[in-house]
Structure 1
């Protein structure tokens, strides 16, 4: 008997890439080491006797650059990480054994796109705009989709359309749109598996406030044990009109790390896409 999933794949699927291309100089949070790529050996630097040559690469990078996932070890509150783990003691030895990114299982789950910018009829929400619970519920109702337990919920503010602008995408003086504490609690109450957005820090950044206060990170990572995916490219997904789909994400299996670059995918069978 043919496996149902394999059968669906063989019948044809439509795939939307939700990940940002990793490039030197791309916009990122100032709190993290930058991505760097170089060629230690280029073609022609060493040529073999038969005329062939090979090139190779080296990268150095923080784990929270480009499209990336936050492990539960990423944030603590009052000295505790998720589940009451002592944050200081857990970091002894230079790795987080219990809540590192290696503990995130590969995701093949129902994905839901809440296109808030589309619902509001704007290209993108304004800098510093807080996406409210009312916005989330109205968007859900307009799209005819409900957020359920175990889902991965992606919130489009439209701010991702500014990624190529560099510094303006990061926010700074303008701030960045996103959910606040109330929106994060709405997601937590629905027991989602992960939540993502098209912005640098997932949640609202106040104009001129930078990353000084991140209450949604506390609610999701520390209190609820919900993973956060940041800097998603949601423009292509919004253009498809898909409200729900199969979401696929696999973090790099880095033992004890607080996060990982990822290249998530949204997938639907060609018959329904």
Structure 2
């Protein structure tokens, strides 16, 4: 049997050289904490210690603690699998949504089918493009023109296979002392509507993400009553959605293009997965 030196491959060698030269990693995931803002449609995050240090002590004096967590798969920063949304009883592959989930699992379109993502990422900083230092207004619909303007202003046109992250500025409210502010049921939440979702899909993107609780424009008082962007992306066009992202640091540093890295948990048959996405850039 022959072996291959990993550094003999030119592409791998270039990647290793870039890492050795120094990179900066931006953490785009939210910290998971009890009581964090989330959609009311999903089970909340909970964390406890069923065994604490001292509950059991080994003969040599050693002790171990361990945890238990419960949460919905669409709580905190997460990615939607194609089994998450149906339209008129059908999923992305045309299968009957009810039949596809019999037994409580989606074997064909579940989270376990989402391959790890290592792709070009682009931050579309909409407030910067629109001259809104405090972010988009509550309930504002981000249009194709807004998305195109952001890409043009930054000099980062989208390419097929990219991951497009849409910043509305709403993410600054995630850690607000009034956690209902981020959910925005009464005020509405800015986001991409049906037209914007169609525009993104037309660019050939592999996945999209946002700093809001749902990748949608949520009008005041409407909540999650209708989700047209989800329909377009997950059911009609086959584009993954990542929600509740931390994008403020990228925007503050004017980082608009980067290596995007994300690996979902391979939860068999699940409709989504918690994730901790990363943006990697060369250190200058």
Q: CA deviation at 1:50?
A: 2.1
Residue number in structure 1 paired with 2:89: 79
Provide the secondary structure at the position in 2 that maps to 1:169: helix
Q: CA deviation at 1:117?
A: 1.3
Residue number in structure 2 paired with 1:151: 162
Residue number in structure 2 paired with 1:100: 110
Residue number in structure 2 paired with 1:109: 119
Pick one of 220, 223, 247 that aligns with 1:210.
223
Summarize the alignment of residues 44-63 of structure 1 with structure 2, pairs less than 5 Å apart: 44-63=54-73
Summarize the alignment of residues 1-273 of structure 1 with structure 2, pairs less than 5 Å apart: 1=8, 3-122=13-132, 123-165=134-176, 166-271=179-284
Listed one character per residue, the Cα deviations across residues 186-232 of structure 1 (whole Å, up to 9, x for unaligned) are: 01111100000000001110100000010000000000000000000
Provide the secondary structure at the position in 2 that maps to 1:164: coil
In 2, Cα distance between equivalents of 1:261 and 1:95: 17
Moved more, 234-243 or 204-213: 234-243
Listed one character per residue, the Cα deviations across residues 49-71 of structure 1 (whole Å, up to 9, x for unaligned) are: 22221111001111001000000
In 2, Cα distance between equivalents of 1:178 and 1:34: 23
Q: CA deviation at 1:6?
A: 1.4
Q: CA deviation at 1:48?
A: 2.1
Provide the secondary structure at the position in 1 that maps to 2:35: coil
In 2, Cα distance between equivalents of 1:238 and 1:136: 15
Q: CA deviation at 1:31?
A: 0.4
- CA RMSD in angstroms comes to 1.0
Q: Point out where structure 1 has 5 or more consecutive residues left out of the alignment.
A: none
Provide the secondary structure at the position in 1 that maps to 2:122: strand
Say how many residue pairs are matched: 271
Provide the secondary structure at the position in 2 that maps to 1:256: coil
In 2, Cα distance between equivalents of 1:85 and 1:16: 38
- TM-score by length of structure 1 reads 0.97
Provide the secondary structure at the position in 2 that maps to 1:206: coil
Q: Point out where structure 2 has 5 or more consecutive residues left out of the alignment.
A: 1-7
